[in-house]
Amino acid sequence: MNTDIHILILDDDPDDTLIIRDTLLETADREYVISVAHKPADAFSYIEQNSYDVVLCDYRLGATNGIDFIKDIRAKNVQVPVILMTGVSDKSVDEEGLRVGASDFLNKSDLSSALLDKAIRYAIANAARQNLLSTVLSNVESAVCVLDEDGRPQLWNSKFQDVSSGQKDARHNDSNVDAFVENTLNSTGVLKVSGRVFEKNISDLDDGRSVVTLHDVSSHIEALREREIAENKSAHLAKHCPLTGVANRLGFNEKIRQEIDSGQRFQLLNLDLNKFKEVNDVFGHETGDELLCKVTARMKKCCEDGDYLTRIGGDEFVVLQRLEDGEEKSTRLAECFQAAIERDFVVGKRKLRIGVSIGISSFPDQGRTAEVLLSNADIAMYRAKANAESCIQFFDTDLDNAIRQRRTMIADLTEAIENKDIDVHFQPLADVNTQKILGFEALARWTHPETGPVRPDIFIELAEENGLIESIGNIVMTKACENAAAWPYPVKVAINVSGVQIRHTDILNDVQSALFHTGLPANRLELEVTESVLLDDFDFALHVLRGLKNLGLSLAMDDFGTGYSSLSSLISFPFDKLKIDRSFVTDLDRQQRLKNVVTTCIGLGKNLNMRMVAEGVERQAHIDFLVEHGCQEMQGFLIGRPMSNADVHDYLMRGEGYALMDTPKPSVAVAR
Ligand code: C2E
Ligand code: CA
Ligand code: CA
């Protein structure tokens, strides 16, 4: 290991130079290699050509001084340690020397070899430490700069140099660093330099200086941005319909919440496509999907800025439209949708024609929550569906409250059906001449838990329209057959069957299974159907009715005279009975025309060999008329009101029903 220490002495006084050299050489155990320069320029060129471990520099150098020399070499990035030699002890010079980068200072007047040696060793060791520090500094990831107490850059690493150069031009020099520190470091927030982003941190040191670190966070921010984009993308996917690209129900919910919060007026247009289901069923889902895309595209063209189009269900769209100028704007938009959707679509090679029903509700007048607004727009849309004249309807509180009640009622009825809370009452049918009880008509009863009994014609119609009639029919069928099978006399039970049941359900099977499970003989069962069943699909109805008759039961045509049945259909169908509607009977003693109608009906029945039943018999005069004209059966409040099954037992046991007994009848059956 080479222990030689290379020393450069810079002193303009040759005598002083010799003294210093001699003093150095007194130290016997060191190998000093000594060079001497008398002018700073010479010293500088020596430094450039050789490598020195330390420079011993006189403070007074003729016109210049050691401090300027140190400044000069430091400015040229020469880091060799310099020991300043002063003639007199002057504190301010010493301090200035240290500030500009001197390692130490010695008083020339009391130089000793030991002192010199110690100073040199110390300077070299210190330089090594400095070196290590600057190596570390230049290898840390951050740009670091130490500022003096006046905020001027004092020391910085190469990264800091790079950053500050990037500021203006790429030349590395101190003025860049100065300008950078002055212009940029005082700014608040993150620092942007040549497309990179730096996080700035300034920590104050105890001695008034401060350390600035700049941490490059560009890649971090890039990663964040990418994640944000990815997150936005998946959030977008979650809120949009993958098929049509417009927002889905989730997106809609978010949007409407925002709009409600903002308090601005808006309208909801609820659109439901007509005949879309058929397209799907007949041509398949692919065609259906393509059609939906085309519908969406046309709808988009109708929308203006601020209209928010969403597909909230299969063929259901909702558009949120901001309102500034009243309802006309919604009408215009709805009409545009209608025109766009009703025009023919071409999907594949097929021409498709569909329609649309549009219901509109407005915020805040017709609802302050998304649920209410949507439900109101939906109700208006259903009214639009039912309206033959206009497929666009605005929500109307009066009109639509009825619909809302109806909806609640449907829900309640559905629940009642699930719980089998449909009761059956029975109304007697008697022989006109003997007044014997021939049987009972089963009549459905529903008591609403809050509002009490609901009229059967109302809930039956509701059930027919909402696919509930099959269940009600089956409940009535089972209960009626079960009850009738246990009656003390084997009189008939008549059950009303809705046209919907004939058309849509396997009524044959239902009847057979009811008979089988209750043990009621088929000849005690009678089914009442209205003539409307004949209207729809004549051949099919005929087929079903013949099948039913083949089971061994009898068939009655209900409400005869109120429908449109033709004579030919009457002849074709295998009815055993015609029930003359009570609207003809109840007032017949007061209106001659009604008498004529009933007389004609009875004659018709005779000729067709069908038994005639008069409904709505309320007074003795009715019975007298029926006896006179040869009607066979009667039903009405005078004979008996609809009663519970328990009352049927009493009624039969008390002997008020004489069906199977040959005892004389009371003149009038007791009306309850
Ligand atoms: P409907 O088949 O014509 O039943 C006879 C209706 O006339 C019953 O009304 C009965 O209470 C009423 N009525 C009987 N005698 C008189 C009378 O002397 N004067 C007056 N003013 N009315 C009388 P309800 O029970 O209200 O039933 C109404 C309709 O509901 C029935 O008319 C029937 O079409 C339907 N319905 C009842 N239960 C069922 C059922 O289980 N299934 C089906 N599909 N329809 C049913
Ligand atoms: Ca009936
Ligand atoms: Ca009737």
The CATH number covering residue 370 comes to 3.30.70.270
Q: How far is the CA of 416 from the centre of ligand 1 (A)?
A: 20
Q: What is the DSSP letter of 351?
A: E
> Do residue 527 and residue 644 come from a single domain?
yes
Measure Cα distances from 271 to 31, 237, 340, 548 in Å: 101, 23, 13, 43
What's 156's domain CATH number? 3.30.450
Do both 543 and 600 map to the same domain? yes
CA trace torsion 124, 129, 135, 136 (10° rounding)? 180
Q: Does 516 map to a domain?
A: yes
How close is the Cα of 92 to the center of ligand 3, in Å?
125
Task: Quote the pLDDT of residue 134.
Answer: 76
- 576 found inside a domain: yes
Output the residue whose Cα is nearest ligand 1's atom 45: 496
Q: Is the CB of 267 under 6 A from ligand 1?
A: no
Ligand 1 atom at minimum distance from 497 CA: 44
Q: Could you tell me if residue 227 is inside a domain?
A: no
Tokens 């966070």, located at residue: 217
Amino acid making up residue 80: V
Q: Which stretches of the chain drop beneath a pLDDT of 50?
A: 1, 168-170, 657-672
| Structural domain boundaries enclosing 647 | 410-654
Task: Decide: 471 in ligand 1 pocket, CB within 6 A.
Answer: no
* CATH (domain of 589): 3.20.20.450
Tens digits of residue pLDDT in 603-635: 988 888 999 999 999 999 999 999 999 999 999
Which pLDDT score, from 0 to 100, does residue 332 have? 94
CA dist 501 and 476 (Å) reads 13
Ligand 1 atom closest to Cα of residue 444 = 38
Place of tokens 């670190």: 213
Q: Of the residues 425, 455, 460, which should be mutated to test ligand 1's pocket, given the most ligand atoms within 8 Å of the CB?
A: 460
User: Which of 372, 399, 426 is the last residue in one of the domains?
Assistant: 399
For the Cβ of 456 lying below 6 angstroms from any atom of ligand 1, the answer is yes
At residue 600, what is the residue type?
A: T
Please, what's the b/e burial string for 1-40 (b: 16 or more CB within 10 A of its CB; e: otherwise)?
Answer: eeeebbbbbbbbbeebbeebbebbeeeeebebeebbbbeb
5 lines ligand 1 (CB under 6 A): no
Instruction: Check pocket membership of 476 for ligand 1, CB cut-off 6 A.
Output: yes
Question: What atom in ligand 1 is closest to the CA of residue 456?
Answer: 30
CA of 457 from ligand 1 middle (Å) equals: 7
Instruction: Tell me how long the chain is.
Output: 672
Read off φ and ψ for residue 486, nearest 5 degrees.
Answer: -100, 5
Burial class from Cβ neighbours inside 10 Å (0-12, 13-18, 19+) for residue 468 reads buried
**CA-wise closest residue to 445 among 620, 643, 265:** 643
Indicate if 245 and 294 belong to the same structural domain: yes
- CA–centroid distance, residue 539 to ligand 1 (Å): 28
Q: How far apart are CA 438 and CA 659, in angstroms?
A: 5
Same domain, 468 and 600: yes
Among the atoms of ligand 1, which is closest to the Cα of residue 530?
34
At 25 the three-state DSSP class reads helix
Same domain for 470 and 439: yes
The atom number, within ligand 1, closest to the CA of 424 reads 41
Q: How many domains are there within the chain?
A: 4
Provide the pLDDT for residue 172: 53
- pTM for this entry: 0.54
Note whether residue 662 is domain-resident.
no
Task: Give the pLDDT confidence score for residue 663 in this predicted structure.
Answer: 37
Domain boundary among 138, 162, 187: 138
Q: Is residue 229 part of a domain?
A: no
Q: Is the dihedral of CA 438, 439, 441, 446 positive or negative?
A: positive
- 149 and 122 both lie in a single domain: no
> Would residue 661 count as lying in a domain?
no
Q: What's the pLDDT score for residue 566?
A: 67
Does 156 lie in the same domain as 131? no
Residues 174 and 279 in one domain: no
The whole-number pLDDT of residue 346 equals 92
**Residues in CB range of 363: below 8 A, 6 or more apart:** 259, 260, 265, 266, 267, 268, 373
- 579 and 536, same structural domain? yes
Which residue CA neighbors atom 15 of ligand 1 most closely?
636
The preferred substitution site among 441, 443, 587 for testing ligand 1, maximizing ligand atoms within 8 Å of CB, is 443
Whether ligand 1 lies within 6 angstroms of the CB of 460 is answered as yes
Residue 600: strand, helix, or coil: helix
Write the CB contacts of 405 (distance below 8 Å, at least 6 apart in sequence): none
The answer to whether residue 69 is domain-embedded is yes
Counting ligands in written order, the one closest to the CA of 556 is 2
Using N-to-C axis directions, what is the helix angle for 40-49 and 66-75, rounded to 10°? 40
User: 327 with 465, same domain?
Assistant: no
User: 159-198: string of b/e by CB count within 10 Å (b at 16+)?
Assistant: bbbbbbbebeeeeeeeebbeebbeebbeeeeebebeeebb
Distance CA 633, CA 610 (A): 11
CA of 648 to the centre of ligand 3 (A): 20
Does 110 lie in the same domain as 33?
yes
pLDDT, position 167: 56
Q: How far is the CA of 481 from the centre of ligand 2 (A)?
A: 16
Same domain flag for 502 and 627: yes
CATH number at residue 21: 3.40.50.2300
Task: Report cis status (omega within 30 of 0) of the bond before 664.
Answer: no
Last residue of a domain, one of 220, 252, 283: 220
Is residue 642 within 6 Å of ligand 1 at its C-beta?
Answer: yes
Q: Would you say the CB of residue 558 lies under 6 angstroms from ligand 1?
A: yes
Distance 432 CA to ligand 1 centre (A): 20
Pairwise CA distance, residues 492 & 498, whole Å: 19
Structure tokens at 559: 């409400």
CA distance 126 to 134: 12
Q: Is 319 helix (H, G, I), strand (E, B) or coil?
A: strand
What's the pLDDT tens digit per position in 138-160?
A: 788 888 888 888 888 888 888 88
Is 470 close to ligand 1, i.e. is its CB under 6 Å away? no
Give the position of tokens 């700073």: 40
Q: Does the CB atom of residue 496 touch ligand 1 within 6 A?
A: yes
- Which atom, in ligand 1's list, is nearest to the CA of 501? 44
In-domain check, residue 253: yes
In the chain, what is the greatest distance between 2 CA atoms, to the nearest angstrom? 167
